[in-house]
């Protein structure tokens, strides 16, 4: 019988972290080796995740947790200001990383790629682990070749720190790469703007509108337009449990990858 894969969860007290703790604990082929959160104050990781069991105290020191538990893979759902330190700590110790924290700069991504090469340890970061969202990005990539106008509206909970979302930014980038040229701006130019910033941001003439309100988890709509028609692609997230199949897939497969991989597409056949 194959030994379960030892997994460490960073950000175990966060909304996503609690879901990951639960998903890893319940997966028969994975072993929850450790849980880390800098805000921990003696909490039990299993209890915090809503499980009836106890017995996994949350650590505040990632390096110490790695030394003690020797995980094969760490999963990080923390914050942009914390994730790079966590990635460095893991990769330099030979621990593969699955990351879902968004808001990283291009310099951050280049450093992660360099660390992967230097220490021979793989890492996968994805802006979205919901399989439906990954398919939405693929379909948007295809549609971008045939429509000259496109806008993205993304809606997230009001505690999300970055805007636009990593999913919206990645979607726009993939659309532009597939198209091979910018989208067309409106023929008559933008309408008069009476509220500063109401039109959102822009990437290659793809306008991105970010909405942050309570009651929302994560939704995104991509609207394509041409003469006499529109095409709308929409993905709605009603609960964070939808991300777990993608997270578990990444945990199981990341060690078979080489270097730094961006996006879950690499694991979908």
Options 15, 149, 156, 209, the catalytic residue? 156
Q: Which of 72-86, 106-120, 127-141, 157-171 has the lowest mean pLDDT?
A: 157-171
The pLDDT, as a whole number, for residue 200 is 81
For the segment 185-209, the average pLDDT, to the nearest whole number, is 75
Closest CA to 99 of 116, 82, 75, 115: 75
The pLDDT, as a whole number, for residue 3 is 87
Q: Please determine, for residue 188, whether its predicted confidence score (pLDDT) is greater than 80.
A: no
Q: Are residues 256 and 230 in the same domain?
A: no
Question: Residue 1: which pLDDT band, with cuts at 50, 70 and 90?
Answer: low
Options 15, 149, 157, 160, the catalytic residue? 160
Q: Are residues 77 and 33 in the same domain?
A: yes
* Structure tokens, 70: 């020797």
Across the chain, mean pLDDT equals 92
Q: Are 233 and 140 in contact (CB under 8 A)?
A: yes
Q: Residue 52: CB partners within 8 Å, gap ≥ 6? A: none
Q: Are residues 166 and 150 in the same domain?
A: yes
Which CATH number is 135's domain given? 3.30.360.10
Q: Please determine, for residue 104, whether its predicted confidence score (pLDDT) is greater than 90.
A: no
The pLDDT, as a whole number, for residue 102 is 79
* Structure tokens, 69: 């538990």
Environment class of 52 (CB within 10 Å of its CB; exposed 0-12, middle 13-18, buried 19+): exposed
DSSP state, residue 140? H
As a whole number of Å, the end-to-end CA separation of the chain is 27
* Structure tokens, 197: 């910033």
The parent domain of residue 60 ranges over 5-125+241-267
Q: Are residues 229 and 151 in the same domain?
A: yes
Tally of domains within the chain: 2
Distance in angstroms (rounded) separating the CA atoms of residues 207 and 53: 47
Distance in angstroms (rounded) separating the CA atoms of residues 92 and 106: 20
The structure tokens 């008069």 sit at: 192
Count of alpha carbons within 13 angstroms of residue 237, beta-carbon side: 25
Q: Please determine, for residue 117, whether its predicted confidence score (pLDDT) is greater than 70.
A: yes
Is-catalytic flag, 235? no
Q: Please determine, for residue 130, whether its predicted confidence score (pLDDT) is greater than 80.
A: yes
Which CATH number is 17's domain given? 3.40.50.720
For the segment 86-98, the average pLDDT, to the nearest whole number, is 98
- List strand residue ranges (DSSP E) for 82-204, in order: 96-99, 123-125, 149-156, 201-203
């Amino acid at each position: 019988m194959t030994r379960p894969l030892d997994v460490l969860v960073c950000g175990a007290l966060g909304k996503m972290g609690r879901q990951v703790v639960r998903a890893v604990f319940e997966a028969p082929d994975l072993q929850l080796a450790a849980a880390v959160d800098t805000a921990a104050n003696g909490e039990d990781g299993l209890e915090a995740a809503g499980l009836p069991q106890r017995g996994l105290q949350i650590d505040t020191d990632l390096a110490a947790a790695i030394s003690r538990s020797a995980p094969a893979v760490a999963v990080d759902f923390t914050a942009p200001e914390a994730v790079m330190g966590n990635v460095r700590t893991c990769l330099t110790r030979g621990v593969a990383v699955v990351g879902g924290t968004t808001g990283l700069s291009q310099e951050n991504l280049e450093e992660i790629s360099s660390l992967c090469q230097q220490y021979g340890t793989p890492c996968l970061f994805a802006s979205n682990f919901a399989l439906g969202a990954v398919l939405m990005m693929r379909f948007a990539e295809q549609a971008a070749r045939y429509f000259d106008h496109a806008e993205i509206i993304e809606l997230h909970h009001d505690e999300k720190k970055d805007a636009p979302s990593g999913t919206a930014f990645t979607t726009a980038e993939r659309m532009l790469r597939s198209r091979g040229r910018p989208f067309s701006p409106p023929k008559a130019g933008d309408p008069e703007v009476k509220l500063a910033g109401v039109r959102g941001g822009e990437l290659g003439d793809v306008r991105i509108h970010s909405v942050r309100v309570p009651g929302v988890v994560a939704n995104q709509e991509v609207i394509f337009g041409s003469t006499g028609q529109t095409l709308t692609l929409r993905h709605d997230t009603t609960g964070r449990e939808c991300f777990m199949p993608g997270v578990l897939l990444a945990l199981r497969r990341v060690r078979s990858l080489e270097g730094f991989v961006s996006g879950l597409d690499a694991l979908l056949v």
